[in-house]
Structure 1
Amino acid sequence: MNAKEIIARRIAKEFNDGDFINLGFGIPNLSAAYTPENVHVILQAENGAMLFGPPPTPAEAKPNSSNSGGMPITMKPGASTFDGLTSFALIRGGHVDQTVLGALEVDQEGNIANWSIPGVLAPGMGGAMDLLVGAKRVIASIQHTDKKGNSKILKKCTLPLSAAHCLDLVITDKAVFGFQDGKFLLKETAPGVSVDDVLAITEGDVVVADDVHEMDI
């Protein structure tokens, strides 16, 4: 199981029956494929789709039905598509129970940077800033380290922020973190990863929960 699949599978465990959930570009969109069978959620894409399911087969894919990353989606019975104004009215109106967004960096203050790297041309943050302040619960998904092994789980973000003090949960390929007293709260570790392993690759300050346990994926 690769890092992206670990994260996507763990994201889906946060889906609660009846939730209205926005999935962002990248790994969050992959989590739709792992929605538990007994959990019924309304998945929303910021580009204007509501009530979609797992990715379709190539034969079932329709060019006019896609998620925020432009990948094909399966529209469920009762699903709808709509314009950007309606989509963002739902987001800004506080109707989103949870949003799951990808990140470049997160820090122990609950800040997230997910749109800009200095010197690299970026199209902008898209709907991230609206989702980060409009959703009732915000989950960041991120690979724990970069290609050089440097931590992306930081004391303080170094990249331009998308929003400040907005995160409720961080899911990486190595761990799941909440927040406590201005520090990361280590709640879960990935299969085969120890608490010491997580601490060794995490720059931010970490409090280890009394009931820390292995991810259920």
Structure 2
Amino acid sequence: MLDKIGIAKRLAKELKDGYYVNLGIGIPTLVANYVPEGIAVEFQSENGVLGMGPFPFEGEEDADVINAGKQTITTLPGASFFDSALSFSMIRGKHVDLTILGAMEVAENGDIANWKIPGKMVKGMGGAMDLVASAENIIVAMMHTNKEGESKLLKRCTLPLTGIGCIKKIVTNLAVLEITEKGFKLLERAPGVTIEEIKNATEGTLIIEGLIPEITF
């Protein structure tokens, strides 16, 4: 199966030359470290950065240069900084080609829950609300099951929703899946993971057609 770095590397294969990409908090931020050779993408962070690079090496951090998750980042030549109003006008104006988000749950119809766990204090929904309402190409990076081994790919989300019917694809530690009208379509499986393991870890409808290749990098 994949670890967080493996998920990020697989997500990086979804990048295309010239894309403007928003990276959500958590696993998605790692994608900036694994941009394939020969392509140029612009990473946008909702706190007001365009042109993020990979994470800095230890000792080279600048506490004033951070992403939306308050992690220190690097910037590439030509990067720019701006206020949140301009950042969200980029998002709401559909100027972002690809959005990669983390999630606590995804439903087979493309619903996503990624902002609130009942009983826990949170500051609010944050930028995900705007991203799921505006973006046309959203991929989720997540673990397939929770710490208790229960599926996070469900028939219907149990947590408060962030967005409805907006997710296109999911990359987990076990598999790559596409949201279709009939449910989760299995596209690829993580190295060493069997189809039976993916079935057992998926509560929602799982569609399996033909041979399912292993993920390669």
Q: TM-score range, shorter-chain basis?
A: over 0.9
Q: CA deviation at 1:28?
A: 0.3
Q: Does 1:147 align with 2:147?
A: yes
1:25-36 aligned within 5 A: 25-36=25-36
Say which SS state the counterpart of residue 157 (structure 2) adopts.
Answer: coil
Q: Name the structure 2 match of 1:10.
A: 10
Please give the per-residue CA displacement for 1:107-126, whole angstroms capped at 9, x wherever unaligned.
Answer: 10100000011111111110
What amino acid does structure 2 have at the position aligned with 1:20?
Answer: Y
Instruction: Say whether the 8 Å CA contact 1:187–1:211 is kept in structure 2.
Output: no
Specify the code of the residue in structure 2 equivalent to 1:22: N
Q: TM-score, normalised by structure 1?
A: 0.96
**1:2 CA displacement:** 5.8
Which amino acid counterpart does residue 68 of structure 1 have in structure 2? A
TM-score by length of structure 2 reads 0.96
Letter in structure 2 aligned against 1:59: G
Alpha carbons 1:188, 1:215 under 8 Å: kept: yes
Structure 1: 5+ residue stretches without partners: none
TM-fit CA distance, 1:211: 4.9
| Aligned residue in 1 for 2:171 | 171
Amino acid at match of 1:100: I
Contact 2:109 2:180 in 1 (8 A): no
Q: Counterparts of 1:40-189 in structure 2 under 5 Å?
A: 40-189=40-189
% identical equivalent positions: 46
Counterpart amino acid of residue 102 in structure 1: G
Per-residue CA deviations over 1:119-143 (Å, capped at 9, x if unaligned) read 1111111000111121220011110
Structure-2 residue corresponding to 1:193: 193
Partner Cα separation in structure 2 for residue 73 and residue 103 of structure 1: 22
Residues 2 and 209 of structure 1, relative CA distance in 2, 3 Å threshold: closer
Q: Secondary structure, in 3 states, of the residue corresponding to 2:209?
A: strand
Post-superposition CA distance 1:20-71 (Å, at most 9, x none): 0000001000111111122210000110001111111123221211111111
Structure 2, unaligned stretches of length 5 or more? none
Distance 1:62 1:181 in 2: 46
Measured after TM superposition, the shift of residue 180 of structure 1 is 2.2
Checking the alignment, whether the CA contact within 8 Å between 2:107 and 2:204 is kept in structure 1 is: yes
Aligned position for 1:39: 39
Q: Secondary structure at the match of 1:76?
A: strand
1:186-216 deviations in Å (ceiling 9; x for gaps): 0010010011110111111111133521112
Q: Write the distance in 2 (CA, Å) between the matches of 1:137 and 1:10.
A: 16
Counterpart amino acid of 1:202?
T
1:161: Cα distance to partner? 0.3
CA distance in 1, matches of 2:17, 2:146: 34
CA contact 1:180–1:207 (8 Å) conserved in 2: no
Q: Which amino acid aligns with 2:132?
A: L
Indicate how the Cα distance of structure 1 residues 211 and 79 shifts in structure 2: closer, same or farther if over 3 A, else same.
farther
Find the residue that maps to 1:202 and give its secondary structure. Answer: coil
Contact 1:43 1:50 in 2 (8 A): yes
